[in-house]
């Protein structure tokens, strides 16, 4: 008989698209395995009218899903890695990191203008303090308004005139086939992405060797090294959604470079650094970046 795996996922179009892709890949590589999706509504899905920084941050999108893994009602879960806190609950682990796509943020404007061409005082819709702080550092004349909801909801709010432009992760638009809406890909020099942006993480129970073995083909070593470096830096900074932090790692054959930004919500103060370490130790690269940012003064912002 075919083995049946239960995959827990949020119910948004993006979460379903990501989970369905993982499910199809598992079934394609393991014809004797069937994947069934179970949709779980998280607290982050229920609270749509308050900025994430005010209601608890990243854990809001995973707590109920992780409870399903722990109680055995689900065997695995697919997350956008950027939504997964660096501190994992006892009994759970990341079984594979992969699905890498472009990690950059994108700007979508109503009139087709890019960031540098937006008029003074233009309203940018974003609930991300990371995006707000970095864009405010470059364009302090812009106005920022919180905007929540899934990708479709945010695009609708833009089209209704609630903002002149919105900022989203390009990865989500790529996975939904909506890249035609993108006005401009923001260079990492202008907006350092969130930790893990553009990567998928598959979460499983610790000790579930059979499921981990089934997922091994989905693992991407380059993506995993990127994740280790970025998550190590964030963990060392002890940062969450309350502090604007952007971190991005670039693995190469022999080295891994990690750059990061820590800033105030207004774009000031603004601390930016870059570290390079041997590719064999991405975690150390992240720690070195965090130490350097703290030494520059970022520690006063993250505590």
Structural domains of the chain, ranges and CATH numbers in brackets: 3-99+199-219 (3.40.190.10), 105-185 (3.40.190.10), 230-302 (3.30.160.40)
Q: What whole-number percentage of the chain has pLDDT above 70?
A: 93
Q: Residue 82's pLDDT is what?
A: 93
With beta carbons less than 8 A apart as the criterion, state whether 173 and 37 touch. Answer: no
Q: Phi/psi of residue 255, each to 5°?
A: -135, 165
Q: Residue 47's pLDDT is what?
A: 58
Distance CA 241, CA 46 (A): 18
* Residues of the chain under the 70 pLDDT cut: 44-58, 60, 239-241, 303
User: What residues are paired with 62 via a beta bridge?
Assistant: none
Q: Residue 55's pLDDT is what?
A: 54
Q: Residue 68's pLDDT is what?
A: 97
The pTM of this model reads 0.92
Distance CA 288, CA 97 (A): 23
Q: Residue 199's pLDDT is what?
A: 98
Q: Residue 303's pLDDT is what?
A: 67
Q: What residues are annotated to the active site? A: 83
Q: Residue 238's pLDDT is what?
A: 84
């Amino acid at each position: 008989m075919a083995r049946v795996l239960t995959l827990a996922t949020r119910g948004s179009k993006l979460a379903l698209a990501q989970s369905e892709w993982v499910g199809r890949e598992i079934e394609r590589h393991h014809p004797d395995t069937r994947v069934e999706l179970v949709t779980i509504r998280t607290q982050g899905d229920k609270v749509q009218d308050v900025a994430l920084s005010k209601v608890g941050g990243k854990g809001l999108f995973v707590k109920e899903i992780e409870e399903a893994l722990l109680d055995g009602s689900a065997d695995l879960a697919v997350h956008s890695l950027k939504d997964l806190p660096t501190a994992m609950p006892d009994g759970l682990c990341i079984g594979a990191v992969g699905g890498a796509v472009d990690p950059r943020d994108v700007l979508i404007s109503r009139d087709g203008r890019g960031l540098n061409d937006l008029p003074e005082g233009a309203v940018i819709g974003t609930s991300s303090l990371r995006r707000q702080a970095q864009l405010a550092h470059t364009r302090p004349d812009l106005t920022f308004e919180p905007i929540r909801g899934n990708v479709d909801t945010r695009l609708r709010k833009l089209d209704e005139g609630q903002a002149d432009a919105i900022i989203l992760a390009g990865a989500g638009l790529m996975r939904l086939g909506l890249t035609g809406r993108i006005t401009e890909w923001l260079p990492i020099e202008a907006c350092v992405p969130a930790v893990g942006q553009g990567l998928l993480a598959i979460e499983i129970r610790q000790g579930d060797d059979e499921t981990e073995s089934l997922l091994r083909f989905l693992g991407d070593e380059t993506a995993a090294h990127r994740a280790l470096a970025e998550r190590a830096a964030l963990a060392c900074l002890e940062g969450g959604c309350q502090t604007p932090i952007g971190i991005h790692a670039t693995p190469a054959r022999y080295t891994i470079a990690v750059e990061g930004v820590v800033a105030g919500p207004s774009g000031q103060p603004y601390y930016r650094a870059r570290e390079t370490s041997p590719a064999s130790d991405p975690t150390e690269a992240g720690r070195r970046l965090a130490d350097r940012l703290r030494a520059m003064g970022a520690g006063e912002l993250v505590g």
